[in-house]
Amino acid sequence: MRKIAFINQKGGVGKTTSTANVGACLTMFRKKVLLIDLDPQANLSIHLGINAHNSDLSIYQIISGKRSPDEVLVKTAIKDLDLIPSTIELASAEIELVNTVGRETIVKFYLGDLIDKYDYVLIDCPPSMGLLTLNALTIVNEIFIPLQTEYFALQGVSKLIQTFDIVKKRLNDSLEITGIIPCLYDSRTKLGQEILEKIKEYFADKVFNTTIRKNVKLSESPSHGMPIIAYAPDSNGARDYTALTKEIIAQEESELNTEGEEASRFKEHAFK
């Protein structure tokens, strides 16, 4: 089971698009996936066709103790893709949680064992390093950083790494950065290629081989409430996110291999 937060304190870099589409693609490979929308803007929920029409279901109700996770959990139109949605109400949590005991682990506390029922839990974070993002970082043990392959891509990244180091030291020693996703890539421009090279210099083998190209279908799909594999399965966007998802699953297999024979025997058993 893997728990991954998609973080970057910059907005517009591809966090939500990647969370929604990696999540949907994972289900094509028979993974059971839970998506958690931790952004008060609720873009992920809207992207998956939830809360676009005034539903009041929100993770905010879970962390304020008003509803159980099961009551808030929704099934999306994609089989095996469940979602804990967000609404703008969540914005007040950043302030309300400040004086709460265990404020960085409150979301984890209230989610309880719900997350244990999935193969993958993916968390879409807001574009800030506030309390909601810190909460995400105490739930997961992996971080994916989507980066827009444009001039300011690496600006702010050192701050992000600093936050990661502090959280790892003080709150969650199992936390690792396990993937950098180059998003909104335009291979026709020299700048795009140069920035991609810079990203690879900085993050070395953490950068996925797949780059997510700029693709108009990817920008259209949220307004139709569908992930790209449902909205435009023949688009470059669908191809890129499928390729990325295969790489993500391959990480899982290479991890199992390093855990030795015991793990592979278990795997064989699990597929019987």
Ligand X SMILES: Nc1ncnc2c1ncn2[C@@H]1O[C@H](COP(=O)(O)OP(=O)(O)O)[C@@H](O)[C@H]1O
In the complex, which residues of this chain contact ligand X (CB under 6 A)? 11-17, 43, 127, 183-184, 212, 214-215, 218-219, 222
Q: What is the largest CA-CA distance in the chain?
A: 52
The distance of closest approach from Cβ of residue 132 to ligand X in the complex, given in angstroms and rounded to an integer, is 13
The distance of closest approach from Cβ of residue 44 to ligand X in the complex, given in angstroms and rounded to an integer, is 8
Select from 2, 3, 10, 15 the one that contacts Mg ion (CB under 5 A).
15
Q: What is the DSSP letter of 102?
A: T
Q: Which stretch binds Mg ion (CB under 5 A): 36-44, 110-118, 215-223, 255-263?
A: 36-44
Instruction: Indicate the residue among 69 and 146 with the shorter CB distance to ligand X.
Output: 146
Could you tell me if 9 and 207 are in contact, meaning their C-beta atoms sit under 8 angstroms apart? no
Rg (CA), the chain: 18
Residue 107: name the closest of 50, 160, 60, 176 by CA: 60
The distance of closest approach from Cβ of residue 11 to ligand X in the complex, given in angstroms and rounded to an integer, is 4
Instruction: Indicate the residue among 3 and 15 with the shorter CB distance to Mg ion.
Output: 15
Q: How far is Cα 19 from Cα 194, in angstroms, rounded to an integer?
A: 26
Phi, psi for 12 (deg, rounded to 5)? 75, 20
- Residues 40-69 as x/- pattern, contact with Mg ion by CB under 5 A: ---x--------------------------
133 lies in the site for Mg ion, by CB under 5 A: no
Per partner kind, with CB cut-offs from 5 to 8 A, the member of ligand X, Mg ion, none near residue 17 is ligand X
Residue 217: name the closest of 204, 227, 209 by CA: 227
Select from 8, 16, 27, 172 the one that contacts Mg ion (CB under 5 A).
16
Q: How far is Cα 139 from Cα 171, in angstroms, rounded to an integer?
A: 10
The distance of closest approach from Cβ of residue 80 to ligand X in the complex, given in angstroms and rounded to an integer, is 22
CA distances from 182 to 2, 28, 110, 249 (A): 21, 22, 33, 18
Could you tell me if 35 and 174 are in contact, meaning their C-beta atoms sit under 8 angstroms apart? no
Instruction: Indicate the residue among 92 and 219 with the shorter CB distance to ligand X.
Output: 219
Per partner kind, with CB cut-offs from 5 to 8 A, the member of Mg ion, ligand X, none near residue 182 is none
- Residues 168-197 as x/- pattern, contact with Mg ion by CB under 5 A: ------------------------------
The distance of closest approach from Cβ of residue 183 to ligand X in the complex, given in angstroms and rounded to an integer, is 5
Question: Which of 170-208 are b and which e, b meaning 16 or more Cβ less than 10 Å from the residue's Cβ?
Answer: eebeebebbbbbbbbbeeeeeebeebbeebeebbeebbb
The distance of closest approach from Cβ of residue 42 to Mg ion in the complex, given in angstroms and rounded to an integer, is 9
